[in-house]
Amino acid sequence: MTEKGKKEMSSRGLEEKINFSKNIIREAIERFNDRLVIAWTGGKDSTTMLWLYKTTCAESGKPLPRCLFINEGDVFPEILEHVDAVKKMWEVQIIELKNDDVLNKIKQIGDIVKVDDLNERNKRELEHIGFKEKEFAFEPESFEGNHLMKTVPMKLFIEDNRIEAVSTAIRWDEQEARKEEVYLSERNNPPHTRVQPLLHFRERDIWNTIHKYKIPCCSLYELGYRSLGARCSTHKNSDIPAWKQDLENTPERVGRGQHKEKIMEQLRSLGYM
């Protein structure tokens, strides 16, 4: 889509944006059926996307696709509480993905993991990203940590379950590395399609949808967090609720680990969301 087309899409009214997203979802469900899964982080965007799937499936008489929740080893307890509550409320089937091979070798953030102690798949994945050190300090949003703890579990699930599509809640305005994305994006290693029905939503649209349709959201947003990642590298930069902050003139992800933000393009080329 051209820049002009993106701007036109992003400037549409909220209901028009919602209906467009529903059309993307309908197309994806018809095309992929039970080979489609939803990546659900428990954040505001992915919970809004899950609501869109729930609503669209109810309208179409289709079952809600399974959800993948990637536990990178340092999840806010508030996110876990939110995910559990929504799971029960909406009767969501959740598959939790973890890299147990790494997690079994650490007790806390910063513990040293020796590459020789990892299984062969994790060793190959580190070679694939060009990591040549003999050990690393465990931090789930470092370059090697993000790949091992998030991308690798998702890749393994796709391979082992013959998944054809993964739906993610990324937006054009959220991060520079995502501004060129399209609604249905073909990926390799492993081959699958990324379904991205929220690309045209702005941060303000997400909150307007949440409040209008009373979509449940994690309590951390009310405390001032705007974007949620691993607990060790996520901070709030305000004490007022996220939706009351200056969303249009301040960076959404300023409270996230900035090292990861700088290498987002590289992470996404390796399969990250």
Per-residue pLDDT tens digits for 80-112: 999 999 999 999 999 999 999 999 999 999 999
* Long-range CB pairs of 102-111, under 8 A, 24+ apart, other chains included: 102/73, 102/138, 102/148, 102/149, 103/73, 106/73, 106/138, 109/74, 109/138, 109/139, 109/140, 109/232, 110/137, 110/138, 110/139, 111/137, 111/138
pLDDT score of 3:
74
Give the C-alpha separation, 35 to 164, whole Å.
5
Give the C-alpha separation, 187 to 30, whole Å.
19
Per-residue pLDDT tens digits for 239-269: 999 999 999 999 998 876 555 555 656 765 6
pLDDT score of 79:
98
For the question of whether the overall pTM of this predicted structure is more than 0.85, the answer is: yes
Cβ atoms of 110 and 138 closer than 8 Å: yes
Q: Is 14 left (phi over 0), alpha (psi -120 to 50) or beta?
A: alpha
- The average pLDDT across 41-54 equals 98
pLDDT score of 257:
59
Per-residue pLDDT tens digits for 112-137: 999 999 999 999 999 999 999 999 99
Cβ atoms of 140 and 146 closer than 8 Å: yes
Q: Dig out the tokens for 103 from the structure.
A: 């997690």
Cβ atoms of 130 and 3 closer than 8 Å: no
- The average pLDDT across 37-51 equals 98
- Mean model confidence pLDDT for the chain: 93
Tell me the pLDDT band of 9, cut-offs 50, 70 and 90.
confident
pLDDT score of 226:
96
Length, in residues, of the chain: 273
Q: Is 77 left (phi over 0), alpha (psi -120 to 50) or beta?
A: alpha
Per-residue pLDDT tens digits for 147-199: 999 999 999 999 999 999 999 999 999 877 778 899 999 999 899 999 999 99
pLDDT score of 253:
83
- The average pLDDT across 220-248 equals 95
For 143, half-sphere exposure in the C-beta direction (CA atoms, 13 angstrom radius) is: 15
- The average pLDDT across 31-54 equals 98
Cβ atoms of 208 and 243 closer than 8 Å: no
Backbone angles phi, psi at 16, to 5 degrees: -65, -40
